[in-house]
Structure 1
Amino acid sequence: MKKHLTFACAVLSLILISGCKLPTRISSQNLSYIYKTEDQSIHPIFTVFHVNDSLTRIHYKLNSAELLYSKKNHDQYIANVTMHATLVDAYEYETIRDSLTHRIEHLGNNAVQQLITGTFNVHAVSGKNYLLAIKTTDVNRGESALSYIEVNKEKQAGAQYYRVLESRKNLDILRRYTGNDEEITIQSGIPNTDSLFVRFYDRDFPLPAPPFSIVNPKAFSYRADSVFYLPLNTEHKLTTTLHKTGFYHFQADSSTQNGITLYSFGDNYPKVANSEGLIGPLRYLTTQQEYDHMMGEANPRMAAEDFWRGSGGSDERSRDLMHKYYSRVENANRYFTSYIEGWKTDRGLIYIIFGPPNVLYKTSSGENWIYGEEHNALSLQFTFTKVDNPFSENDFTLNRSPMYKNSWYRAVDTWRQGRIY
């Protein structure tokens, strides 16, 4: 379908709610739906930019194809969307710091896919962090999606003090990864800055160990593989392309670790589209010998298909297995991208093998995943601890334990026997 860009005609209404509280803390709510976005009808995307010490701007994108348009008059159709945003201190806190409702009225129809973009502001003072809960509702359809955005204003000159835009269209890029040939523009929101210091890291990180394997990870060396400066223009912007695969840390002040990190994982990321994308995630299901054999094959795609055909027993079954497995790989890339690809993270490992959890609790310090019924002794539970990482706000490490050994091999054997776990 032909794509058009349309900026939403929006009405912003601010509700003054000083002293009000949420009905229940977000940390006590089951948030498992955030990793089951295929079950949602609308998929808004958000990013944060700090305008000044008291104001923060939220940029968003919506796909018009996901909205229901109703007839306004004889030749016009309209979609109605509301975004109700509530700012609290953290997942564990109930006191509301700010709240607003952003309304979008978009003229169009469901025959032509359009990109709807816009912004709204929240009041957040610097020196502390917050959590922004956003309920996006397609009013005509009566369906909603909930999003939780961390607003990080404790550290000056952190990642949310920068904007990243697609240079040719001058549109905000609401993600931290770029293609190798994608021209981007970075805008610094930090005053009195005429250039950005860039540290480039080209590192080969190992795949995560199984959940029962107690590991002592090698300490990360902050010494960059290369460093350079990029000048800012009079609008505090620079344009560049991240040709080399790796991650780039942009800083206004190189004496600190604060800055924004952008990841270059190839033009097709987060999709699975090369030999590493096909065979790499199979390491979670194979022995080292099997994996080395597939990596050495002249045709990696055929080697991967042979593995799945051997597991599924038929072409149809193997296609079903491949579709489900690599869909989880791609979802892991979308949900869990950090300084490494999402499928290579601890959460990616568990998500790919076990699927999305039945119950998910989030706090400021981590996530708790439950497979099965809550408070059931037979249920499986994984705890992930958030890592203070200057290159990512999305880095979590699994609390490993020998108790996971039987559950892990049971899940792996299920996949290898041609059944989706």
Structure 2
Amino acid sequence: MTTTSISSKFKLFIGLLILFIGIPEYSHSQQNLASVNQALRYSRYSRLSLKIIPIQESDRSFLLQMPIEKIEENPDFDDYIFSYTVVSSYQEAITDEKMMVLTEEDLKYDTQNHFFFEKKVEIPMGQEFAIALLKVSDRRQGDEYFYHIDLISPFIFGHPDFGAYYGNNIPFDQSFLVQNEALLFKSNSVINLNRFYYPAKFEAPFPAMEIKSPPVSRQVEVEYEGDFLINTPRSFEKEGYYFIQSDTNSTKGLMIKTAPESFPRVGNWEEMTQMVVYISTRKEHESLLEAADKKIALDQYWIGLTKNEEASKDLIREYFRQVEFANILFTDFKEGWKTDRGMVYIVMGPPNEVRFGLDDEVWSYGSMDSNSKINFTFTRVKNILTPNYYTLNRSRALQPAWFKNITVWRSGKMDF
């Protein structure tokens, strides 16, 4: 055999090998909502916080309001690549061709605290699912931020045909509103809005390995507070949550959770005694709740855990920082720390991986090696108040990891 024929066959072999290897590599590089890791959404070190707020203008037409909160101080617009799209499923590939880049010319407002974009989208007739996706890439270190929300899906009753805004015309993008603060409501299609108040209070959820069902209230108290004119500021005085509707015969509306001025931070000693339930024994927690002087009881509790006054101060600071993040990230009609996701976030810390499906959200902790990962699966529940209501799939199999983290907390060695 000649040298030339060997060389030709070798080149052919290499070419086929590259082709063979390249096919799965290309397939692997295709992102979709089910595969992309959205852990930055819940990171304590994120530089931005993304949100999509849909205003439904007709059955198939939506105005996408996209406020992006500036967590990083004085961010440079050019340090990021902003883009958005609408996909038809959680499995549809998110390609560069589908992503529509947002430039500085697309900015509706650029304030001290927000970049804000608005875009109208039309969903084709016959398309059963529609999910809006906002993506921001950090040019400096390659971080990718994602936020998505269903526009049309089995979990959506419908989006409101009005918007709520701060005084600077940025959409209300928080999960809670401080009592007595006002919002401005705007709409092109209605004149009046109706306001319902729910004075409900909720208990902390059961631990991750507790498989019995919690008691469910058979009756929810609600007070109709009448209607009010659009395009006028409206304050919310009571603690609880409100449901705002343009049409009381519809299921569509906007839920607004109200909270004390101290929220999302802890407000008083009474709250502190409730919040330590996740790392306390039942006896310890009952003693704290029954204590006449909550401050003294809590001081003794924290020092008793670490046996060191300075270490106890660090532990208190870290634990209630987790509570604060849980309140910011997971508040719906419940305070964030009382939700299943908030509880897991406080005890286990920010997840290493976060992946979404149409009907669930999965958090993974530990090594990327599948043999050592611990998964917490949250099932999505259809709820008229919020499109993002999730409950934890509890299991006794979660008990070892749960107790291990509680032990680390109680030793004062937790560090995120």
Instruction: Give TM-score, length-normalised by structure 1.
Output: 0.79
Q: Which runs of 5+ in 2 are unaligned?
A: 1-28
2:117 is matched with which residue?
A: 119
Q: Flag the 1:144–1:86 CA change in 2: closer, same or farther, 3 A.
A: farther
Is 1:26 aligned with 2:42? no
CA contact (8 A) 2:364 2:374 kept: yes
> Partner of 1:102 in structure 2?
102
Shift of 1:186: 2.4
Corresponding residue for residue 10 of structure 1: none
Matched, 1:49 2:48: no
Q: What secondary structure, in the 3-state scheme, does the structure 2 residue paired with 1:114 have?
A: coil
Residue of structure 2 in register with 1:131 after alignment: 131
Question: What amino acid is aligned across from residue 176 of structure 1 in structure 2?
Answer: S
Q: Deviations over 1:177-207 (max 9, x none)?
A: 1111201222346x3x443332221122221
Matched-pair contact (CA < 8 Å) for 1:135–1:146:
yes
Q: Which amino acid aligns with 1:87?
A: V
Mapped contact 1:311–1:415 kept (Cα < 8 A)? no
* 1:6-52 deviation line (CA, Å, top 9, x unaligned): xxxxxxxxxxxxxxxx922221233222221x333344555333345
TM-fit CA distance, 1:159: 4.1
Output one character per residue of 1:313-361: Cα deviation in whole Å (capped at 9) or x when no partner.
Answer: 2232112212221121111112211210111111111111111222222
Does the C-alpha gap of structure 1 residues 299 and 379 become closer, same or farther in structure 2, counting only changes over 3 Å?
same
**Bigger helix fraction:** 2
Letter in 2 for 1:101: V
Look up the match of 1:326.
Answer: 320
**Aligned partner (choices 29, 35, 38) of residue 42 of structure 2:** 35
Matches within 5 A, 1:203-242: 203-221=200-218, 223-232=220-229, 236-242=230-236
- CA 1:239–1:23 in 2, change beyond 3 Å: closer, same or farther? same
The question of 1:308 aligning with 2:305 is answered no
Contact 2:200 2:221 (8 Å CA) reproduced: no
Map of 1:11 onto structure 2: none
2:392 is aligned with 1:388: no
Note the C-alpha offset of 1:238.
4.3
Q: Which residue matches 2:10?
A: none
Distance 1:203 1:55 in 2: 32
Distance 2:67 2:212 in 1: 39
For the residues of structure 1 that align with 2:47 and 2:201, how far apart are their CA atoms? 37
Alignment of 1:344-355 (within 5 A): 344-355=338-349
Q: How far did 1:376 drift?
A: 3.5
Given the alignment, which residue of 197, 200, 206 partners 1:200? 197
Aligned to 1:89: 88
User: For this pair of structures, how many residues does the alignment match?
Assistant: 378
Following superposition, the deviation at residue 132 of structure 1 comes to 3.1
1:216 & 1:358 partners in 2: Cα distance? 28
Q: 8 Å contact 1:83–1:102 — kept in the other structure?
A: yes
| Structure 1 stretches lacking a partner, 5+ long | 1-21, 70-77, 107-112
SS at match of 1:324: helix
Q: Is the 8 Å Cα contact of residues 334 and 342 (structure 1) preserved in structure 2? A: yes
Q: In 2, Cα distance between the equivalents of 1:324 and 1:25?
A: 35
Describe the shift of the 1:102–1:325 C-alpha distance in structure 2 as closer, same or farther (beyond 3 A): same
Query: Contact 2:61–2:122 at 8 Å: present in 1 too?
Result: yes
2:25 is matched with: none
Residue 174 of structure 1 is matched in structure 2 by 173
Query: Is the contact made by 2:89 and 2:130 (CA closer than 8 Å) also made in structure 1?
Result: yes
CA distance in 2, matches of 1:279, 1:293: 9
Question: Identity rate of aligned residues, in percent?
Answer: 23
The 3-state SS of whatever aligns with 1:150 is strand
Q: Which residue of 2 aligns with 1:415?
A: 409
Name 2:21's counterpart in structure 1: none
Aligned-residue RMSD, C-alpha: 3.1
TM-score, normalising length: structure 2:
0.80
**1-structure distance, mates of 2:99, 2:341:** 31
What SS does structure 1 have at the residue aligned with 2:53?
strand
- Stretch moving more, 130-139 or 409-418: 130-139
CA distance, structure 2, for counterparts of residue 166 and residue 335 of structure 1: 19
Secondary structure of the 1:403 match is helix
Paired amino acid for 1:34: R
Q: 1:366-394: CA deviations, max 9, x gaps?
A: 11122223453343221110110111222
Residue matched to 2:17: none
Residue 260 of structure 2 corresponds to residue 266 of structure 1: yes
Answer 1 or 2: which has greater strand percent: 1
Aligned to 1:4: none
Between the aligned partners of 1:133 and 1:335, the Cα distance in structure 2 is 18
Distance 2:321 2:171 in 1: 26
Partner amino acid, structure 2, of 1:103 = T
1:7 maps to what in 2?
none
Q: 1:300 to 1:181 in 2, by over 3 A?
A: farther
Q: Deviations over 1:147-178 (max 9, x none)?
A: 212042459983453311224x4442212311
- Is the partner of 1:133 in helix, strand or coil? strand
* C-alpha separation in 2, matches of 1:143 and 1:29: 14
Distance, in Å, in 2 between the alignment partners of 1:373 and 1:349 is 22
Q: CA separation of 1:214/1:198 partners in 2, compared to 1, >3 Å: closer, same or farther?
A: same
Report the AA paired with residue 50 of structure 1: Q
For residues 207-264 of structure 1, give each alpha carbon's deviation from its aligned partner in whole angstroms, at most 9, with x where no partner exists: 11111111224445465431132122xxx33432221111111122223332111101
Hey, what's the Cα distance between the residues in 1 that align with 2:310 and 2:333? 36
AA in 1 matched with 2:31: T
Q: Contact 1:81 / 1:137 at 8 angstroms: preserved in 2? A: yes
Cα shift at 1:399: 0.9
Q: How far apart, CA to CA, are the structure 1 residues paired with 2:375 and 2:138?
A: 34
